[in-house]
Each structure stands twice: as structure tokens, then as C-alpha cells.
Structure 1
Amino acid sequence: MDAMLGADFWIGLLKIVWINIILSGDNAVVIALAARGLPAHQQSKAIMLGSGAAVVLRIALTLVAAKLMQLPLVEIMGGVLLLWIGVGLLKGEDESEQSGDAVKVGMMAAVRTILLADLVMSLDNVIAVAAAAQGNLVLLVLGLAISIPLVIFGSTLMIKLMARFPAIVTLGAALIGWVAGETLASDHVLEGLIQAHPWLTHAAAVAGALLVVAVGKMWQARNAAPASGA
């Protein structure tokens, strides 16, 4: 209890909250993209479930992140997964005829997407959080718990902006592709290549963004073709 009253504890808590504010922008975009296709009354539930579960996952991940990131191919697999998620989110779903069961399935699919994306996108973030916590589990849990409302607010705001400005959906998917490219280039097995050619990291990020947008738009057009012909 005395540790919680010390200046070091509160400074560490502020660091963790601030780190999460800075690093959770892309996570809020993913959550908003995943939840935007749900009915309005389901969106807030999906955001809260996804955000809460993601924080629990992030706490567990923090304990093993440093060792996990040293394993070969982990970030390459994560980057490929993010590319798949980005294309799927940009493709969207046909919401015109959804039964009650379909809505439930859609909400669970959104939560699953949020968890998978947060798992991959948080690999780098959790190392900064772990450093700020300095092994204090109470500090870690409190700091991440405080960040939940911030992520929920950011995701809710993004959904409203996406509804008003559809181009943000494409930009959000491009951001996921960008992060996917950076994740791919950060893998341990590519360390020597990236050190010799640092520009490859930016090239991979740009390629990831372009790939997600191109494939997602192509998928959208393919889905829209039968509908227009019907």
C-alpha cells in the first residue's frame, strides 16, 4: 500500500497512461472499422467488449513481449495477419438483411477482429508500457485500465467520423496496411537487411498500405457487381 502512495508509483502510472494515449490511435481506428458495420445499439457493446478484452490480453502480452519479439517469423506472421484484417475491414459486409442471429455473429466477429489486430499492433507498444511499469503488476493493470475509456471514446468518435466522411474508412484501412508493412519489416530475421537498407521499412509500410487499399477496393467492386446486376 505504501508503494502506491509514493511519487514513483504515480509518475509510472502517468507514463503508462500517456504511452497508451499516444500509441492507441491506430487501435482506435481498427476498433471503429470493425464495429462500424454493426447496428447502432451493438456498436457500443462491441467496442466495450473488444477494448476490455484487448487490455486484458495486453497485460498478459506485456509479460512475454520482449522474448516473443525475438522469435523468428513472429512479426512476419503478424504483419500478414494485419494485411488480411485490413482488407477484410475495407471490404465490409452487406448489412441490408441481417437476422438477429447474424447480428450476434457479426458482433462476435468484430470483437475477434479487434482482439487479433490489437494483439499484433501492440507487440511494440507493450515493451514501452512494461518499461514504465518496471515489473509492478498493480501499476500495469491500473495504467491499462485507465486507458480503456480513452480508447472507447476514440473509437466511438472515429465511427461517427467514418459515417460522415466515408473516405476515412479507406484511410483507416491504409493505416492498418502501413502498420502491417512496418511489422513485417521489423521481424528479427530481417534485422541485418533492414540495418543495411533502412529505407526498406518505409517501402514496406507504403507497400502494405497500397496493397490493403487495392485488394480491398477490388473486393468491394466484385461484391457490388452481382448486387447491381440483380
Structure 2
Amino acid sequence: MEYLQQLVSDPAAWVALATLVTMEIVLGIDNLVFISILTNKLPEHQRTKARRLGIGMALVLRLGLLGTVAYIVQLTEPVFEVFGQAFSWKDMILIAGGLFLLWKATKEIHHSVDPEPEGDLFTGKVASIGFTSAIVQILVLDLVFSIDSIITAVGMTEHIPIMVIAVVAAVTVMLLAADPLARFIGNNPTVVMLALGFLIMIGMTLIAEGFGAHVPKGYLYAAMAFSALIEGLNMLARRARRKRSDTPS
């Protein structure tokens, strides 16, 4: 109790908490985009359940990993070397997660441009994946993003309570934003393709990080924000054109 009282009265702890909450929310965007695209391919009555279950698993994973922080930190220790390049367990997990994202995003892009697709990616009228398959894929990416998130959090603060509060706050925001984001993506086909492009970029970033090439997250999210801004302007332009065409001359 005395330890918690010291944290509450420490201004540095509040600054660390605010910074960590913001970082966790930003890092959660990647996970949320993937969950939204994947669950939109399920039947309508299963989508909300899958999103909540996927995000709930992300919370459980991150809180569970926080309980093994001492072990998680050791994941950054080199395990072997290839041509002078050292690889740790974290590196291998990031590379595997990046390859999975590249495969999944490329597959979804192929389905969207295939003249005879298995299902309608944009409207979700025909599901091309099952509920269990969707949950398993979400769990795989939850694990990758959770490990990256926890290791980053450990580098920012040594106080476990601050990490727990930040993780719970970020996952709560994800839970509130999941359905609106998924509906927005599902109702705008061009946004689906943009989001898949984001996943490819995120996958390449994870692979680069795994090979020791640090990519500042600011550049990644600035590119995503700029692309989203341009797409938003395109949507406004299309809406204006529809209004003009619907207006009697």
C-alpha cells in the first residue's frame, strides 16, 4: 500500500503513465485494424462476439506477460548468429509475425481483386473464414503485438502497476472503438484496401525490426495518418459528386 501511495504522489509516475497509455493506444491501432478486417468476413451475428473475444484475449495475454516481465526481458538476449547478425527470441517472434501479416494482407488483397472471389470481402455477405479460424489468427497477432508492447513498456518504466493501468486503459479504448471502426471499414471498400496496405507496411516494419533495423514508429504512423487524410478527402469528394448528381438540374 505504501508503494502505491508513493506512486500516486510522484509526478514522474503520472507522466510515465500518460506517456505509456498513449503509446499503448497507438500500438493497439495495428491490432485493431487487423481484428476489424478479419471479423468483417464473418457472418453478421458473429462479428461483435469475435471482436470482443479477440480484444479480451489481448488483455489477458498482456496482463499475463506482465506477470513474467523478468522472463520477457530475457527474450531480447541473443540466441544465435547468422553472418554476424544476432537474433533473439523477440527478433524471431517479430519476423514470424511480420511474415504472417504479409501473407494475410496479400491473401486478402488477392481475394478483393479476384474476378471470382470465394466471398465478398467488402460486404461480408459470404464468410471465407470460420469463427474458430478467425479467433486463432487474432490470437497469433495478439501474441506478437503483446510481446512487442510489453517489452516497449518495460523500457519506459519499471513500475508494474503503471504498466497494468496503461494496458487496461489501452484495451478499453480498443474495445470501445472496435465496432465503429469495423463498420467504417466494412462500409467503405477503398478503406479496406488502404487498411490492407497498412498491414503490409506494419508487417514489413516487424520484419525489419526483427533483423535489427530500427524503424521509428513516428514515420510509420505519420504515413498512415497522411494516407488516411487523403482517403478522407477522396470520400468527401465522392460524397459531393453524389449530391450534385442527385440534385435536379
Residue 135 (structure 1) shift: 4.2
Q: Structure 2: which amino acid aligns with 1:60?
A: G
User: Which residue is equivalent to 1:170?
Assistant: 193
Give the alignment's Cα RMSD to 1 decimal: 3.1
User: Which residue is equivalent to 2:134?
Assistant: 110
Of 158-167 and 120-129, the range deviating more from structure 2:
120-129
* Alpha-carbon separation, structure 2, partners of 1:123 and 1:27: 12
Matches within 5 A, 1:10-89: 10-62=14-66, 63=69, 64-70=71-77, 71=79, 72=87, 74=92, 75-89=94-108
* Alpha-carbon separation, structure 1, partners of 2:103 and 2:209: 18
User: Which residue is equivalent to 1:131?
Assistant: 155
* Alpha-carbon separation, structure 2, partners of 1:21 and 1:155: 13
Structure 2 residues not aligned, in runs of 5+: 80-86, 113-117, 224-249
User: Which residue is equivalent to 1:216?
Assistant: none
Q: Deviations over 1:119-143 (max 9, x none)?
A: 223443322222345142x433332
* Alpha-carbon separation, structure 2, partners of 1:39 and 1:78: 26
* Alpha-carbon separation, structure 2, partners of 1:131 and 1:88: 35
Q: Is the 8 A contact 2:58 2:146 kept in 1?
A: no
Q: Deviations over 1:134-164 (max 9, x none)?
A: 142x433332122222112232222111122
* Alpha-carbon separation, structure 2, partners of 1:85 and 1:135: 36
Q: Is the 8 A contact 1:34 1:89 kept in 2?
A: no
In the superposition, relative to structure 1, how do residues 57 and 171 fare at CA in structure 2: closer, same or farther (>3 Å)?
same
Matches within 5 A, 1:191-230: 191=212, 194=213
Q: Structure 2: which amino acid aligns with 1:86?
A: A
Query: Identity, % of aligned pairs?
Result: 26
Matches within 5 A, 1:146-161: 146-161=169-184
User: Which residue is equivalent to 2:3?
Assistant: 3
* Alpha-carbon separation, structure 2, partners of 1:149 and 1:143: 10
Residue 76 (structure 1) shift: 2.4
Residue 28 (structure 1) shift: 1.2
Give the secondary structure class of the aligned counterpart of 2:130.
helix
In the superposition, relative to structure 1, how do residues 96 and 28 fare at CA in structure 2: closer, same or farther (>3 Å)?
closer
Q: Structure 2: which amino acid aligns with 1:183?
A: L
Structure 1 position 144 matched with structure 2 position 167: yes
Q: Please, what TM-score do these two structures have when normalized by structure 2? A: 0.63
In the superposition, relative to structure 1, how do residues 97 and 67 fare at CA in structure 2: closer, same or farther (>3 Å)?
same
User: Which residue is equivalent to 2:245?
Assistant: none
Structure 1 residues not aligned, in runs of 5+: 207-230
In the superposition, relative to structure 1, how do residues 69 and 30 fare at CA in structure 2: closer, same or farther (>3 Å)?
farther
Residue 23 (structure 1) shift: 1.7
Q: Which has the larger radius of gyration?
A: 2
Q: Deviations over 1:69-106 (max 9, x none)?
A: 444250322321222232344437636567xxx9xx82
